[in-house]
Structure 1
Amino acid sequence: MNKDQQDKEDKEDKVVANIELNSIEDRLNGDGDGDGDDTESLKSTDAILNLENNSSATEVEPSEYDLNPQLNKFMQYCQEGNLTSIKEIIKDIDINDTFSDGITGLHWACINNRLSLVKYLIENGSNPNKSGGDLNATPLHWACRNGLVYIVDYLITNEYHKADPNLKDGQTYNALHLAVHSSNITLIIYLLLTCVGSNLYIDEPDGFNRTALHWACYQNDIFTINALLKFGADISKQDNNLFIPLHWSFMKGYKIVLKTLVEAGSDIFIKNDQDKSSFDIAKDMNCINTWQKVLKECDLNMKDNYQPTKHWIKPNTGKIITFLSPYLFLGISLSISQGLLEFILAILIFFIGIYLVNILIIPSYLIDDKPLPKSPILAGIFSGTAFWCIFIWLTKILPSTIFHNFISNVTLLSIIILFIWSFFKAMFINPGFVPTPTDNSIILQQVQELIGLGKFDTDHFCVNTFVRKPLRSKYSRYNKKLIARFDHYCPWVYNEIGVRNHKLFISFVYSLNLAILLFTYLSIKYFDIIKDNNGYDTDDEEDSLICGIFGDELCFGFKNHNFHFNLIIWCCLQYIWLVILCIVQTFQILKGLTTWEFSNLNNKLSSSRFNHSTVPKDFNDIVQEQNQQQQQPLKKPNELNTCLNLLGIDQFIMTVKLSIGSLFKNKNDVNYDPLTIDIPTNYGIKQNWKDFWIIGDEKIRNIFYLPIEDENNLNGQIVHYYKLYELPPKKSTEIV
């Protein structure tokens, strides 16, 4: 007796047990009179005695599996994927034969992801539309329920006998419903591209009038919801209980799901058959606070019956005000900060100003849990600092030091021009948005290419933008686009850093570091000149902590040029994290890595990612070992992590930690070490450095070129990052 027969008999035993439990419950509930109970008890006793007398006869009766051993073996071989044995036994049976359950060999081959066997059975006449099992489902239904993309692809597209995705199983679910139940976004995208519109209605209801979108919302599967909405799923469809998809999304109450549905136009006031609106359901499901937050982030005014909020300024104007406001706050704070009380007041003024911008200006164009890093205010803090430094240099330092420190002033002028140009260029340039096809046939072609390669998964296909992922690319949740050679999102330049502005960003960071050093140096020289011209004598002043720490020149600045002195201290504080950023970025460039890639290398030490791959084990006779890993829970960032991320300190800590770890690594230790493994994009320190700065041939002029579209060097040759699907090969000397 095989495993499936045993499971079937166990199921029958459970049914009998349930019947007995029900009869016991009836007696406990007092159903019937006492005499009836005695009579029934006697009858039951007689039945048991008769059953015992006939038990021997029942045990010797052969089952249908015993009566047809060849078919039983065939089913077992289909479950195991034993193609060799099936080719031998197929001569003695009909390929569509079944037992009383109606399950064919193709059913078992499909649910066990045996692609080569599925192909053989279909080619030899197996019917992919034959229903069987307790749910009266087809092999396509079984494959969809388990999210098996490659099996579904062959069943639908084979040239022998195509499966019909419109057929429904015993629960009235079609292929799309079951794919949604599987939560495999790659399968859902495949069905949307191949079937919806021509062979399948996206809003086809089940027996309870629930569409695929209803089920996706019930599961709070945001990827599936976005995909269905992209293909025109109706958010206003009601099921038999008058629930719209929004109502079902409260079952788990994920904010991102609720927000997506509201932004898509869901009616928040429509009521179900119990006369409950979304507000009532949210209260019943204990997620009313989340619901109120969603409505706020969707910019709906509670005081105006949740109509769109009317702002007193336009979004673009709000962004400009946000960007320029730190110029004012910094100027005031640096002017009044002299003693302890003034210093505390300066800090209060600065943070109160930021707070007012956060609650009054930023909501005109951005409503979010943590809006500040996603707004231009941090870029404004930098540019405001640079503005006041340039102002002091032009009005104070330059006139006094032009002859004494001519070369330093000219150098500083050149660096100022460089970092201003690189800053604004990096801010406004397209960082490298990968073009998204608007024609679904092109997207389907990319999907079919990936299926042919065994790479149709979320590592190689972007389920947010529906485009094949180039190597080194990443989806940006800020711009909602796929970015080629993604490095990181930088709030200090209010843009993503990608293939087209990474060189600009590094030029900006390097030049800013030099500018701070030169500004500080010239400021000290300026104080020295002014001190001598004014006949200032430190012996005439009381000793102070500042004078003891910084020396005569800065002591003079502290006593007589408070704004200028505070500006120097502020710049030096900025210089600390800028140095850290320079170290980390330089290290990554020399290793041939981006910030994103370096973070992923470290994450592999402790976790794995689920990429929705369902490549059959017999696909090209290669066993996939890494695609069956379970998804690890992601760590939720807190305020400290956000701060470290903004300053780049998290990457610095990671670099130091891994570097120290590699120094003390035991030679016999086989654990994964991201600093010693072969990095595919590492072509050697010298080559990596040249690849970053040079586009094209190794000529001086090519250092100053920026990518026109997506071109950049990799291993000394130009590659196009929008369509980079294979890395240039390494030489034998470059392989670690």
Structure 2
Amino acid sequence: MEEVDPSCNPVQPLLEGGSGGTATTGEKQKDAMVDLQPGQEDYSNYDIVRAVQFGIMARVYELVEGGLNVNEMDRENVSILHWAAINNRLDIVKYLVGKGAIVDRFGGDLDSTPLHWATRQGHLTMVVLLLGFGADPTLRDGQGFSCIHLASQFGHTAIVAYLIAKGGDVDMVDRNGMTPLMYSSYRVFGYDPTRLLITMGAGINKQDKVNGNTPLHLACQTGNTCVVKMLFDKKADLDILNAKGQTAMDAAAEYKHANIVKRMKQERADRGLDHTNFVSKFTGNKNTRTRVMWWFPFFAVYAIGIIPELSIPWYYKLILALLSAGIWKFLQMFFFDERLMNIVPVSVYLSSKLMMYITWFLYLLPYVEMTWTKTVLFLLNTVLLCYNFYMAWQTDPGFIKSNREQKLQTIIDLAEKQTLTLNQFCSTCLIHRPIRSKHCSACDKCVAKFDHHCPWTDNCIGAYNHKYFIGFLMFLLCMLSWCVHGTFAYWRANCPFDIYEDGITGILYKVLKTSPWVFWVGANAMVHIVWVTVLLSCQLYQVVWLGMTTNERMNHGRYTYLSGNYPQSHAHGHSHGDDKECKHKVKNPFDRGPIRNLIDILDLQFCGLLRPNRIDWMNLYSLPGHKTPSLGKMNFGVSRENYQFV
């Protein structure tokens, strides 16, 4: 094998040609691919290469049975099997191998095997077939790439998953010491297959033997922010030096990726690196910042209401207000980060709720005519609100779990059934996703019957806590209504007003002068009523009237089972022009009518009169009434004994 110049970038040659080699080779392979069937032509004059490219089985059979050597190489040093592999001609490959074609024959300018050619083009079915016939995925082509390197750099996630599931080394190195993760970090600007490789245990801190770069160095060189974030989440080492003596942040700076440099500095601060004193170490601690952001709404909500309420001169109030604003700016500067809007909603809800209950008992209760019935209803509403919020907050929404052996077996089964696509397979959790499920990026897990991720409960809403979420919204709306009712009762008793006599400004002056705290609480309650009413109405409309989840309603075009044409290869069951908007009507197979939908979502049952339709959403992979295909039978005409589970 030829020596490699240590000064060169081992991935740079990949950028010079369309197929990972020279431009000439890339053009040849592109020309070799034929997707369209020709018209009514006379195939009798086709040579073997053209017949294979067009998939003319009859002509291939005629030539081979007439004495053609199936292992004969053409003038470009390419075998017939290569042409069949790159054009994904499964039947022709079966026939040629049956006639003695050498599966691992090297050929072409890149000195590669048919398996390499199929891998470059992303033909998963061909890869499965060739492996079944004994092709060796660990063989390296003329550039030193094995199949997993090719699949990784071209973003063929399904092939990467299958090769690893069949026992491939997730950290296999090419002749330059580059791993699959390094190639995907450098070349693929998206989550996959990098996310899959990390999940499968790829070494995130390995260095190539030429330039000493880690996957993080390579992602920083190309400005691959998506991969950089994933490597941060997996705690990639930030201090490793490459052959130039550069850290990953130095590499990002050299290539002028300022946004990545900024993120790198933040990540180093989160990990407590580069701190010179106790203060910087304290403010840079991620857990400390999380606690500060979580508790900040309690301070802010009460400060806004208490300072105007105090019986002190106005200039003291002004000083306290300025001091509070200074504290807010200080916290914003040293403790708040991009996670703020993911952390504060729960604490905003809890602080607002506590404030309203305190106000109810200290200010409003004496002015509300609380009969025995009202008292019971108020206490019952309080108990049910707390219960439903806690259950929506803490209940497992339906996180789908599996062990490593199950994950690998799932990959093999889906690939061999020709159904290993990212629509059915989660490249993070490495599972066969049940119907109506979705991967939540916030929780980083797949959720059965996924509705949405709710920041107000800091949890996903799915199969097992959806009813609690709806209950939470219903009883929260009742509690807010109680609060508004008490606020107006307080105002009627302490500052009667008339809209025609006082006007809006006069009313505001009266209520603020009477009690700024009660005004602040009442304003909060009325604002919360608006969004809770809207959210509850949307939820009830979706789950009761439509029988759909929020995710399905927002993304119905992605799901074949909502098209009424299940199953279909097209994303929503029919075809239309690329520039034409899809206006098809959604047909939901899970809609059982408003009453039964309500019974199902709330899981109501009563003496056989109310009977919810209970479905195991964790294990439902096809529509009810549709037979789930068996995963134990091969579709390629290849003995399953050729596949060994590792």
- TM normalised by structure 2 equals 0.77
Q: 1:152 aligns with which of 127, 151, 155?
A: 127
Q: Specify whether residues 114 and 305 from structure 1 end up closer, same or farther in structure 2 by C-alpha distance, changes over 3 A only.
A: farther
> What's 2:156 paired with?
184
More displaced stretch, 317-326 vs 76-85: 317-326
Match status 1:244 vs 2:217 = no
> What's 1:485 paired with?
449
> What's 1:24 paired with?
none
Answer with 1 or 2: which has the greater Rg. 1
Does the 8 A contact of 2:88 with 2:126 survive in 1?
yes
Counterpart residue identity of residue 167, structure 1: L
Aligned-pair Cα RMSD in Å: 4.1
Counterpart residue identity of residue 378, structure 2: L
Match status 1:285 vs 2:255 = yes
| Alpha-carbon distance in structure 2 between the residues aligned to 1:260 and 1:307 | 29
Does the 8 A contact of 2:148 with 2:163 survive in 1?
yes
Counterpart residue identity of residue 582, structure 2: Y
Tell me the CA shift for residue 510 of structure 1: 1.2
Q: Specify whether residues 537 and 281 from structure 1 end up closer, same or farther in structure 2 by C-alpha distance, changes over 3 A only.
A: closer
1:335-355 CA-to-partner distances (Å, cap 9, x unmatched) read 345899999999988876665
Counterpart residue identity of residue 224, structure 1: P
Does the 8 A contact of 2:137 with 2:147 survive in 1?
yes
Tell me the CA shift for residue 212 of structure 1: 2.1
| Alpha-carbon distance in structure 2 between the residues aligned to 1:348 and 1:488 | 39
Match status 1:683 vs 2:608 = no
Does the 8 A contact of 2:115 with 2:137 survive in 1?
yes
Q: Specify whether residues 272 and 11 from structure 1 end up closer, same or farther in structure 2 by C-alpha distance, changes over 3 A only.
A: closer
Q: 2:518 aligns with which of 564, 572, 575?
A: 564
1:475-502 CA-to-partner distances (Å, cap 9, x unmatched) read 1222211111111121112222121211
Q: 2:172 aligns with which of 201, 204, 228?
A: 204
Aligned residue runs from structure 1 range 99-114, under 5 A: 99-114=74-89
| Alpha-carbon distance in structure 2 between the residues aligned to 1:353 and 1:602 | 48
Does the 8 A contact of 1:398 with 1:409 survive in 2?
no
Counterpart residue identity of residue 147, structure 1: G
> What's 1:214 paired with?
182
Tell me the CA shift for residue 111 of structure 1: 0.9
Tell me the CA shift for residue 435 of structure 1: 0.8
> What's 1:584 paired with?
538
Does the 8 A contact of 1:96 with 1:105 survive in 2?
yes
More displaced stretch, 252-261 vs 296-305: 296-305
| Alpha-carbon distance in structure 2 between the residues aligned to 1:524 and 1:584 | 28
Q: 1:505 aligns with which of 469, 472, 488?
A: 469
Tell me the CA shift for residue 591 of structure 1: 0.7
> What's 1:89 paired with?
63
Aligned residue runs from structure 1 range 366-381, under 5 A: 370-375=338-343, 377-381=344-348
Does the 8 A contact of 1:473 with 1:485 survive in 2?
yes
> What's 2:194 paired with?
225
| Alpha-carbon distance in structure 2 between the residues aligned to 1:258 and 1:192 | 23
Aligned residue runs from structure 1 range 599-638, under 5 A: 599-601=554-556, 624-625=569-570
> What's 1:520 paired with?
484
Q: 1:725 aligns with which of 621, 627, 636?
A: 621
| Alpha-carbon distance in structure 2 between the residues aligned to 1:564 and 1:700 | 47
Does the 8 A contact of 2:557 with 2:571 survive in 1?
no
Q: Specify whether residues 480 and 306 from structure 1 end up closer, same or farther in structure 2 by C-alpha distance, changes over 3 A only.
A: farther
> What's 1:398 paired with?
365
Match status 1:458 vs 2:422 = yes
Structure 1 gaps, min length 5 = 1-9, 16-68, 363-367, 605-621, 630-669, 704-712, 731-736
Counterpart residue identity of residue 251, structure 1: Q
Does the 8 A contact of 2:81 with 2:103 survive in 1?
yes
Aligned residue runs from structure 1 range 212-361, under 5 A: 212-221=180-189, 222-234=191-203, 235-262=205-232, 264=234, 266-298=236-268, 299-301=270-272, 303-304=274-275, 310-311=281-282, 322-337=293-308, 357-358=331-332
> What's 1:657 paired with?
none
Counterpart residue identity of residue 179, structure 2: T
Structure 2 gaps, min length 5 = 1-22, 29-42, 560-566, 575-579, 627-646
| Alpha-carbon distance in structure 2 between the residues aligned to 1:466 and 1:484 | 15
1:216-260 CA-to-partner distances (Å, cap 9, x unmatched) read 222145423333333443322223233333332233212232243
| Alpha-carbon distance in structure 1 between the residues aligned to 2:324 and 2:503 | 25
1:493-532 CA-to-partner distances (Å, cap 9, x unmatched) read 222212121111111111111222222223333444x44x
1:335-387 CA-to-partner distances (Å, cap 9, x unmatched) read 3458999999999888766655555556xxxxx5x312221x21111221111
SS of structure 2 residue aligned to 1:171: coil
| Alpha-carbon distance in structure 2 between the residues aligned to 1:309 and 1:190 | 47
Does the 8 A contact of 1:70 with 1:89 survive in 2?
no
Which has the bigger relative contact order, CA under 8 A and spacing at least 6? Answer: 2
> What's 1:417 paired with?
383
Match status 1:389 vs 2:389 = no
SS of structure 2 residue aligned to 1:465: coil
Q: Specify whether residues 423 and 247 from structure 1 end up closer, same or farther in structure 2 by C-alpha distance, changes over 3 A only.
A: same
| Alpha-carbon distance in structure 2 between the residues aligned to 1:306 and 1:220 | 40
Counterpart residue identity of residue 248, structure 1: L
| Alpha-carbon distance in structure 2 between the residues aligned to 1:254 and 1:306 | 33
Match status 1:699 vs 2:609 = no
SS of structure 2 residue aligned to 1:223: coil
SS of structure 1 residue aligned to 2:274: helix
SS of structure 1 residue aligned to 2:47: helix
1:249-284 CA-to-partner distances (Å, cap 9, x unmatched) read 233212232243355455544444444443442222
Tell me the CA shift for residue 692 of structure 1: 1.0
Q: Specify whether residues 186 and 582 from structure 1 end up closer, same or farther in structure 2 by C-alpha distance, changes over 3 A only.
A: same
More displaced stretch, 570-579 vs 116-125: 116-125
Match status 1:78 vs 2:52 = yes
Does the 8 A contact of 1:220 with 1:252 survive in 2?
no
More displaced stretch, 99-108 vs 577-586: 99-108
| Alpha-carbon distance in structure 2 between the residues aligned to 1:459 and 1:346 | 56
SS of structure 1 residue aligned to 2:547: coil
Counterpart residue identity of residue 250, structure 1: C
Does the 8 A contact of 2:84 with 2:92 survive in 1?
yes
| Alpha-carbon distance in structure 2 between the residues aligned to 1:345 and 1:681 | 60
1:660-701 CA-to-partner distances (Å, cap 9, x unmatched) read xxxxxxxxxx96336x32123333333322221126xx4279
Q: Specify whether residues 591 and 351 from structure 1 end up closer, same or farther in structure 2 by C-alpha distance, changes over 3 A only.
A: farther
Does the 8 A contact of 1:329 with 1:349 survive in 2?
no
> What's 2:165 paired with?
193
1:49-91 CA-to-partner distances (Å, cap 9, x unmatched) read xxxxxxxxxxxxxxxxxxxx99962221211122233233321
SS of structure 1 residue aligned to 2:160: helix
Tell me the CA shift for residue 333 of structure 1: 0.8
> What's 1:597 paired with?
552
| Alpha-carbon distance in structure 1 between the residues aligned to 2:287 and 2:245 | 42
Does the 8 A contact of 2:367 with 2:486 survive in 1?
no
1:300-319 CA-to-partner distances (Å, cap 9, x unmatched) read 45633899984479877765
